Structures are given as C-alpha cells and as structure tokens.
Structure 1
Amino acid sequence: MSSVPRIIFAGTPEFAARPLQALITHGYSPVAVYTQPDRPAGRGRQPTASPVKTVATLAGIPVEQPERLRDNGDALERLHAYHADLMIVIAYGLLLPQAVLDTPRMGCVNVHASLLPRWRGAAPIQRAIEAGDTESGVCLMQMDAGLDTGPVISQQRVSIVADMNAGDLHDALAEAGTALLLDFLPRADTMLAKAQAQPEIGVTYAHKLTKDDACLDWQESAVALERRVRAFNPWPVTFFRWRDQIYRVRSARATDGPAAAPGTVHLKGDQVQVACAEGWLTLLDIQPPGKKSMDIAAWRRGQGQALQHGEVLS
C-alpha cells in the first residue's frame, strides 16, 4: 500500500497488547481500539483495565468496550464512524458477526497462536503443549464467519522445546505474531489477494481451559501429566489434593520406575515422586495453600515433612 491504512485494533490480553505497542511504535497507530469491558481482578476484585486498554490509553487512542457486537446497533454505528480500512483482531474474546467483518474496506485479519488448521479455538498454546506437539506457530488469517476457519495470509513456525511451559511459548508466539503483522501492513492488499484456504485435513480444536482440567489424575501416564504441568503454567496451574487441601504444581518431570499403585508417594532425600499409571512424576516446585511457590526441597524441610513414604494421594 502506498499509504498507511486506517486501522482498528481489537484485543484484550497481554498476547494482544505486545503487538499493539509495536504497531504504535512503527507508525501504525490505530484510529480506535476495541477491548473487553473492565473486569474484577486481584484480591480486591476491583474493575481492572485489560492490558490492551492500558496500552491504548497511554497512547491516547480512543477505546471502545462494548459488552457485545452481535445485534448491537449502537456499537456497529460507532464502528462505521471510524471509516477503517482494516481491523486487526488478536485474542479479543468476542465473536465478530458478519456485519462487523464487512465494515472495514479490507476486512478483518486475525493473529492466531497455532499453525492452522491445527488448534482452532480458545486455548491453542496450552493444548499444543498438553498434546506433546514439538512445533507451534502463528498464522495471520483473513477472518470469516467461522471459528478460525479463514484463509491464511502468512505464518511463522516456532519450536516447542523441552521444558517450555505455556508462558514461554506465549512470549515466543507473541513476538512471532508481531513480526507477521509488521511484515504484512506495508503490502496488505497484495498479501490479502494471495491468502490460501486452510486444508480440510488436520483440523483440531483447542477447547477452553477450566480449573477442573488442571487436577493431576495419577491414573494417567507421568509423561501426560508432565505435559499438563507445563501447559497449565502460568494458568490455571495443575494441582493435587493432600489432606483435604489443594497443592499447586508449577514444575515436574516424568521419570521411569517400578510399577506401583497410582498416587503412591516415594520419598528419596528431598525428592518427591508420585506413581502414575505409567512411570513416576517427580515434583520440582510446589505451592502450598496460602503460600508462594517454592522448590520441593524447601517444602520438605517445612510442612512437607508430614508427607509419608508409601502414602497414596487421591
């Protein structure tokens, strides 16, 4: 394009705030930013601005926070009034109805944190690690009415290395997504014209995370549980129950060992291992109720002294 397009940016979490800041820094400041309404957060449960709103406010960009876009005539009228060429959407949290998709002259593009069509949906970063994928990536996608089904404009692959947790992969993908956007904007018309339809083979869905998903089930393999520990760090954080209390696990390692009843505790010095359906899960970092995370050795020197060798966790 010969001129800078009029951009509307829609996003909410930190994953979207980083590319928004990069766009502003590189001269692509949006004419408006759409983000989720302020939500209660922290111990005081006070209404808190999203990371995207914080960036936009500091930059003096108008912020729109509609509760919904579907069947919302006032919100659609305000959107039209910005006369945008392009809408960039990153982890916004609201589905865009066709009326919104059709509003910008060039349509809407989305930065999605997977190599589509694998891991369409709400939690692609976590589900990729949980499934044992060795590779992830980001796609810049031309949006349509489906759930992450639009044509792919460009993509960048990112390796999932050993010990990488969801926070690590989040940061790597946010950086890659920012690079895709900055490469796209100077030649947006040309790249949109060359967007490729997604293949029909290989579609998987990354279902939304729940806190119940984070419970460590010793009836699964140690390898599967190690992946879940990494996938659910920093949120919602895996946990197990001991003596009617919840203990969170932010780091663990799968190891081999003799078969034992799932949930059986093996203590060796400061090490804590728990038998699984296959293998043993060595706990490396633990967060007791009401306390900060600590390495397992520190916990064993304190409250963890009460944990007994041969005890069976539920």
Structure 2
Amino acid sequence: MKVVFMGTPDFSVPTLQKLIEEKHEVAAVVTQPDKPKGRGKAVQFTPVKEIAVKYDIPVYQPQRIKQNKEFYEQMKQINPDVMVVVAFGQILPKEILDLPKYGCVNVHASLLPRYRGAAPIQWVILDGEKETGVTTMMMDVGLDTGDMLLKEMIPLDEKETGGSLHDKLSTIGGDLLIETLKQLEAGTITRTPQGDAESNYAKMLTKELGHIDFTKSAEELERLIRGLNPWPSAYTSLQGKTLKIWDANVVEGSQDAKPGEVFAVGKNSFTVMTGDKALEIMEMQLEGKKRMTTEAFLRGYTVEKGEVLA
C-alpha cells in the first residue's frame, strides 16, 4: 500500500521501521517541527525524521495542519492509500481524515476505549491495572474515539515501569499495524464502535505529578515511582536537595513513625513511612549525583533514622 506515515517520538519508530521492512511504499513522513534541545539548544530532528532521512523518505513538518491548505494539497498530490498515525502530536482535520482511500489508521498504546488521551502507558501503571495493550483504530474527528480494528493485550509485570512498557508496546504496535493493513486491504477487517461509558482520559504528565505525598499509601506511591520512570520521575527532598526515587518496595511500616519519616536504615536501603505501610528505597538519585542503588549511595552519604523526606 502507498502510505503516508505521521508520527514524532521514539514510540512511533518501530511502526515506521516495520512498514519499511514489509515493503509498503512509504511515500512521505509527517512529523512535528524540529526543536532545540539540550544545554547548547542545538536543533535536533525528531526520532521519526531521523529514520525518514536514513531511508530517503520525503519529510513534511507543518507547524499546524488545521487550515493548512498547502499541506492538504501536498497530501492530495501524493494520493496515499492510507495514512498511519502513531503519536503524531496534532489533531487532524476532517479533510485530511477523508483523503486516503482506506482512511487514517491510528496505533494507540492502550486497550481502547480505556485510556484515551496523551499518556495511556503511564496511567495504566499509576492506576494499578493488571493488563494493557495496543489498539489500532480508524480515526475520526474526536480524540481517540474512532472505530476499533485490532487489539493485542499484554499483562503488566510486577516491576513494570513507564519505560519498559513503552518499549514493549511500541514493538507490538508495528506488528499489529501490519496485520491491520493486510486485513483492511483485503476487506476482512471488523470495525467495532467504542463505548464512551468505558473510557478513561489519560491526561498529560507534568513534573508536578511526580512530587511524592507520603500521606498516601505505599502501594499508590510505588506505582507512581514505576509509572513516572523515566519521565518525569517521582521525587521528594532530602536535607534540602531534590531526591528522585527510581525503585522502591512496599513493606510493613512502623507505628512510631509519621509519613515521610525514615524509620530504618540498613546497608542496602532505607525505609520511609507512608500513610499506609512503608517504602523501602532501593534506587535513587540525589540532586547533582548520578542515578545509583541505595546501597551505593549509603557508602558515601549518611541517612539518619528520624530524618523526614518532604
């Protein structure tokens, strides 16, 4: 099939790569405009653009697709059979959705209709879900509201992080998209409308979301730590410095300690009281330091029993 691929971040890359490997004609790639990054503010290509350049695929980077007549005419001239959209980052207007012969197919990182929106990967962990997956769907003018096509489910590991789940789902997405296109072209695919009553909006992540409130339960905070790993990360403060926590275990608490108080310090970890049970801190990163195990941290830094994280 002749495909226009629309995507931007790392999550989109395996699907684009799969389209190329399976010999689909990727006639164009549409991605967000390049942005300056890092301390030097050097302009960097998006991950999707890097792949497109590698394979000499034409790249389009419209600032805003809505009401962009030039972009519409460019896509009309390409005349794709299908547009594939994976974490692109812009809402597509109806005239673009109606352009391809087979419509616009989205690869979404959740089992729709659950977890529509910007951050489904992280929110399934934060909410304590036991399974998730990838859904392909036909796009419409709503936000992740189009008819569902194919799904693949996976269970969440006990120590699943936002980063590990991202990588799993991005790989699944490429394979599921290829099968979706095969069935779409053959006319054998079944379109299933979504039920709005079952939907749950996965709002965008913010750095503030990562601030640890130790009055909450240890189970909830442990999910927060995993879900926001690697970005934006869960954090507190220790002796006036920001302390990111990367890994923790839920353990029994102490009746004598208040939320946020360190009540046990061992060779390999220290333990902090929460609103219900406690967190044994296993991996961390103090402001200005590298990420490390708590065992390594405690070899060069003293954490006293009775100290309070805030």
Asked if these proteins are the same fold (TM beyond 0.5), I'd say: yes
CA contact (8 A) 2:236 2:244 kept: yes
Distance 1:233 1:92 in 2: 22
Q: C-alpha root-mean-square deviation of aligned residues, in Å?
A: 1.3
Q: Which residue of 1 aligns with 2:292?
A: 294
Deviations 1:178-229 (A, max 9, x none): 1111212223134575211012332101000000001111011110010011
Distance 2:187 2:112 in 1: 17
Q: Is 1:217–2:223 an aligned residue pair? A: no
Q: Which residue of 1 aligns with 2:270?
A: 272
Distance 2:23 2:3 in 1: 11
Give 2:271's aligned amino acid.
Q
Q: Which residue of 1 aligns with 2:181?
A: 185
Give 2:127's aligned amino acid.
A
Query: How far does residue 149 in structure 1 lie from its aligned partner after superposition?
Result: 0.5
Q: Give the 4+ runs in structure 1 shifted more than 3 A.
A: 189-193
Distance 1:45 1:272 in 2: 38
Secondary structure of 1:286's counterpart equals: strand
Equivalent residue in structure 2 for 1:159, among 139, 155, 160: 155
Structure 1 residues 191 and 121: CA distance shift in structure 2, 3 A: farther
Q: Which residue of 2 aligns with 1:145?
A: 141
Structure 1 residues 18 and 256: CA distance shift in structure 2, 3 A: same
Give 1:274's aligned amino acid.
V
Structure 1 residues 95 and 142: CA distance shift in structure 2, 3 A: same
Q: Is 1:102–2:98 an aligned residue pair? A: yes
Q: Which residue of 2 aligns with 1:35?
A: 31
Equivalent residues in 2 for 1:1-314, closer than 5 Å: 5-190=1-186, 194-259=190-255, 260-270=257-267, 271-302=269-300, 304-305=301-302, 307-314=303-310
Q: Aligned residue pairs: how many?
A: 308
Give 1:92's aligned amino acid.
F
Secondary structure of 2:205's counterpart equals: coil
Secondary structure of 2:71's counterpart equals: helix
Distance 2:134 2:306 in 1: 45
> What TM-score comes out, normalization by structure 2 length?
0.96
CA contact (8 A) 1:242 1:313 kept: yes
CA contact (8 A) 1:252 1:283 kept: yes
CA contact (8 A) 1:142 1:192 kept: no
CA contact (8 A) 1:158 1:172 kept: no
Deviations 1:225-276 (A, max 9, x none): 1001110111111111122221111111111222331111123322211111
Secondary structure of 2:134's counterpart equals: strand
CA contact (8 A) 2:183 2:189 kept: no
CA contact (8 A) 1:214 1:232 kept: yes
Distance 1:174 1:191 in 2: 26
Percent identity between the aligned chains? 39
Which deviates further from its counterpart, 193-202 or 209-218?
193-202
Deviations 1:258-304 (A, max 9, x none): 233111112332221111100101111111212210000111111x3
CA contact (8 A) 1:9 1:33 kept: yes
Distance 2:298 2:12 in 1: 40
Deviations 1:96-142 (A, max 9, x none): 11111111121101000000011000000000000000000000000
CA contact (8 A) 2:265 2:304 kept: no
